[in-house]
A and B are shown apart, each in its own frame.
Chain A
Amino acid sequence: MRGAWRVFELSLGEMLWSRRTVFLAIVVGCPVLIAAVIRIVDSLGVVPLRINGQRMDFTAIFGVMIWVLFLRFIVPVLGVFYGTSLIADEVEDKTITYLFTRPIRRSAVLIGKYIAYMVCTTLVVLPGVMLVYFLIVPFNQVAASFSMLITDLALLAVGLAAYGGLFALVGTVMKRPLVVGLVFAFGWEQFALIMPGYVRRFTLMYYIQSLVPHAMPAEGVASLLQAFFTETPSTLTCLVSLAGAIAVSLALAGRVVERREYVLDQ
C-alpha cells in the first residue's frame, strides 16, 4: 500500500501538469462557460433555452447538461484518455523500467496511478459540475434539487471510476489502447444501448444512466430508440454491476501488469 501511495504522489503531479490536463480543462470548462452564458442571457430577460418553442426549466437544463455533456461525453472521454495512458504512457516513454525496478509490487504501480487518475479527474470534474449547478439553478430552487446534485456528483465519480478501471485494463493489454477505447466508448456503447435484448448489459453506460435522477432528454432518434427499449435495472443491480466491473477490471489489469514482460522498443 505504501508503494501505491508513493506512485500516487508522483503520478498526481505528473497528471495534473501534463498536456492532457489542458484538454481536461477545456472539456470541463466548456459546460461552465455554457452555464455562465445561460445565466447572463437569462439575466438579460431572454429565454436561454427553448425546445420546440417551450422554455426549459433551469433544473431541466442542468439535468440535460449532466446527461448529454458529462455522462455521455466527458466521463467516457476522460476515462479513455487517462485510463488507457496509465501504463501505456510509461511503456511508450520507456520509463516503465524505472517504476518496475523499485522495491514495490508491479500492481501497486497500477493502483497508485489509478488513484491518481481518480483524484485528478474528480477534482476537476466535480467542482466543474458544482459551478455549473450554481450558475444554472436559481438559488430558491437549490433546496428542492440539491439531492439530485449529490446523486449526480456520486454518479460522475462512479462513472469515472468504472471507465477508468476498464480502460486501465485496456491500456495494459492492448497495443493501441486509445483507438480501442474510443471505439468502445463511442462505438460499441452507443450501438449496444439502442439494441433490444441483453446486449446493452455489456456496456457501462447502461448501468450508469439507470442511476441518473433526471429524465432522459427525448431528442433525437437514438434517444427515442433508447426510450423505446428502456428496461431499467434496480439501483442495487447497477451499483453491484459497476463495483464488479471496477474490481474485475483492476484485478485483471494488475494481474496482466504483474505477469507481462514489457519489451521496450529500442
Chain B
Amino acid sequence: MTRRTRLFVLIAAGILVAGLGTGLLASYMNIQNLTLIGGNGPEEFAYVPSDARVLGFANVRDVMDSDVRKKLMELNPGADGADRFQERTGINLTTDVDTVTAAVIPGGEQGPPLVLAKGRFDMVRLEGFARDEGGVVEDYKGKRLITHDNFALGFVEPGMVAIGTPAVVRRAIDTKAAGNGNVTGNDELMRLVHQVDNGTVWGVARFDALTGVNIPSEVKDRLPAISWFSIKGIVGSGIDGLISAEARDDQAAQDLRQVVQGFVALGRMQAGQNHPEIAEFINSLQITGQGRTVSLGFSLPSALIDALGALRAGQRPQAQPTPEAPATQEPPRPAPPAL
C-alpha cells in the first residue's frame, strides 16, 4: 500500500470515526437539551410539571402581527369581540399578550388546563375585576393568587400569569419553587418539543391524553397504535403546518402512513377539478416520516386564503338575502306566435 493510499484511508476513516463519535456523544448526552445549544424551551416550562401529558405553545405576538390574521380580520371584521374583555380587564389581546403556553397535567383534566401567558398585564385592574366577580385574592408562596370557584389566576412573575384550576396553578407555583421536577426533565416529551418548537404555534401530546377517557373501548381498539402526537404551524403570509404522530413500532407507523396516504388520495379525488382551491391545498399535503414517525405537512399559501375568502364572500349574500333587496322577477315570457 503506497503512502498516499494509506493517507486517504486514514482521512476517510477519520471522518467516519469523528462523525460517529459526535453522533454517539450527542445521543448519549442528549445534547439537544443542553442550554448551551439553543436553550431548552421557553422560561414558562419551569412552571409546567414533568408529568404534563399535553403541552402547547403559541407566539401570540407573531400570530397577531401576521398577514394571515389581518386577512382573517378583513374577512370577518365583527368577529374580534375583544373590546368588552379589554374594557373590564385592561388586556388588549392584540397587543398585550406575547406568548401563551398551555399544559394538561394529570388531575387537572376536569377544569381548564394550566395556561401561562406572558405579556403586559395590569395587576391592579385585574384584581379589581376579580373582586367584582366575587373572586378571592390570597398570597400563595409569595405569589398573588386570585381564585373563584374552579378557576384561579396567579401573578407568578412580572409580566407572566398562570391560569387554571386553583390546584393546577398552585402546583405550577410549587414546581417553579422546587426548581426541579419541571417538564424540561421529561426527556420523551422534550425530544418531541424540540422537533416542533421552531413553529409559531405548536403542541405535543400523549395520544391517550388526546383520545380521553370518554371514547368507547371498541373505538379505542381500532385506533392506530400511536403513542405521541405533535402539531406545528408557522404563521406568516400563509400557514405552513406539520402534523406528526409517533407510532409504537415501525409496522404501526407503516400502516398509519398507508392509511394517511389513502385519505389524501381520497381527498384528491373528491376535490377534483371542481374545487381548485381545495385541490391546491390537498396537493400541498406531504406525507413524510422515518422509523416510527409519520408526518403530514400542509401549506395554506396567502393566495389560497384569499381565494377561500373570496369564495366565502361570494356565498354570503346567497346564504343571507337582505330583506330590503327587491325580489327579482322573471320577465314574462313572450307569447307564442299565433299560427
Q: Once the chains bind, are A147 and B286 in contact (CB under 8 Å)?
A: no
| A144 to B1 alpha-carbon distance, docked (Å) | 39
Q: Once the chains bind, are B1 and A218 in contact (CB under 8 Å)?
A: no
Q: Once the chains bind, are B26 and A13 in contact (CB under 8 Å)?
A: no
Q: Once the chains bind, are B31 and A142 in contact (CB under 8 Å)?
A: yes
Q: A16-B5, A131-B15, A140-B32 are in contact. Are A146 and B261 (CB under 8 A)?
A: no
Residue B22, interface by CB 8 Å: yes
Q: A124-B12, A142-B27, A144-B194 are in contact. Are A57 and B4 (CB under 8 A)?
A: no
The stretch that binds A, out of B149-157, B210-218, B293-301, B306-314, is B293-301
Residue B9, interface by CB 8 Å: yes
| A193 to B258 alpha-carbon distance, docked (Å) | 18
CB distance from A152 to the nearest CB of B (A): 10
Q: Once the chains bind, are A146 and B9 in contact (CB under 8 Å)?
A: no
Q: B-facing mask of A135-151, CB < 8 A → 1, else 0?
A: 00001111111111110
Q: A51-B286, A54-B286, A130-B19 are in contact. Are A142 and B8 (CB under 8 A)?
A: no
Which of A60, A126, A141, A149 lies in contact with B288, CB distance below 8 A? A60
What chain B residues lie within 8 Å of A144 (beta carbons)?
A: 32, 191, 194-195
| A232 to B258 alpha-carbon distance, docked (Å) | 12
| A131 to B8 alpha-carbon distance, docked (Å) | 16
Q: Once the chains bind, are A55 and B283 in contact (CB under 8 Å)?
A: no
Which of A9, A126, A139, A218 lies in contact with B16, CB distance below 8 A? A126
What chain B residues lie within 8 Å of A215 (beta carbons)?
A: 257, 287-290, 294
Q: How many residues on the A side are at the interface (Cβ–Cβ under 8 A)?
A: 45
CB distance from B13 to the nearest CB of A (A): 7
CB distance from B65 to the nearest CB of A (A): 17
| A147 to B26 alpha-carbon distance, docked (Å) | 11
How many contacts between A and B, using CB within 8 angstroms?
A: 127
What chain A residues lie within 8 Å of B258 (beta carbons)?
A: 227, 230
CB interface residues, B 205-229, toward A, < 8 Å: none
Q: Once the chains bind, are A55 and B297 in contact (CB under 8 Å)?
A: yes
Residue among B8, B22, B234, B285 with most chain A CB within 10 A: B8
| A12 to B9 alpha-carbon distance, docked (Å) | 10
Which of A9, A123, A127, A140 lies in contact with B31, CB distance below 8 A? A140
| A10 to B314 alpha-carbon distance, docked (Å) | 78
With both beta carbons as reference points, the residue of chain B lying nearest to A149 in the complex is identified as: B23
What chain B residues lie within 8 Å of A188 (beta carbons)?
A: none
Residue A59, interface by CB 8 Å: yes
Q: B interface, how many residues as a size bin?
A: 35 or more
Residue A43, interface by CB 8 Å: no
Residue B38, interface by CB 8 Å: yes
| A230 to B26 alpha-carbon distance, docked (Å) | 35
Is chain A's binding surface mostly helix, strand, loop or mixed? helix
Q: Once the chains bind, are B1 and A123 in contact (CB under 8 Å)?
A: no
Q: Once the chains bind, are B5 and A13 in contact (CB under 8 Å)?
A: yes
| A140 to B38 alpha-carbon distance, docked (Å) | 8
Residue B73, interface by CB 8 Å: no
Q: Once the chains bind, are A63 and B290 in contact (CB under 8 Å)?
A: yes
Which of B12, B20, B240 lies in contact with A55, CB distance below 8 A? B240
With both beta carbons as reference points, the residue of chain A lying nearest to B38 in the complex is identified as: A140
Chain B interface residues toward A at CB < 8 A:
1-2, 4-5, 8-9, 12-13, 15-16, 19-20, 22-24, 26-27, 29-32, 37-38, 191, 194-195, 234, 240, 242, 254, 257-258, 261, 283-291, 294-295, 297-299, 301
Q: What are 18 A-B contacts with C-beta separation under 8 Å?
A: A9-B1, A12-B1, A16-B8, A51-B297, A55-B234, A119-B9, A123-B12, A139-B37, A142-B26, A142-B27, A143-B29, A144-B191, A146-B27, A149-B23, A213-B291, A215-B287, A227-B261, A232-B254
* A-B CB proximity, top 10 nearest: A130-B19, A53-B299, A127-B15, A123-B12, A54-B297, A140-B32, A146-B23, A60-B288, A142-B26, A214-B290
What 17 additional pairs, Cβ within 8 angstroms, besides A13-B2, A16-B8, A150-B20?
A51-B286, A52-B283, A52-B286, A55-B234, A55-B297, A56-B297, A57-B242, A60-B288, A63-B290, A119-B9, A124-B12, A131-B19, A139-B32, A141-B32, A143-B29, A214-B290, A215-B290
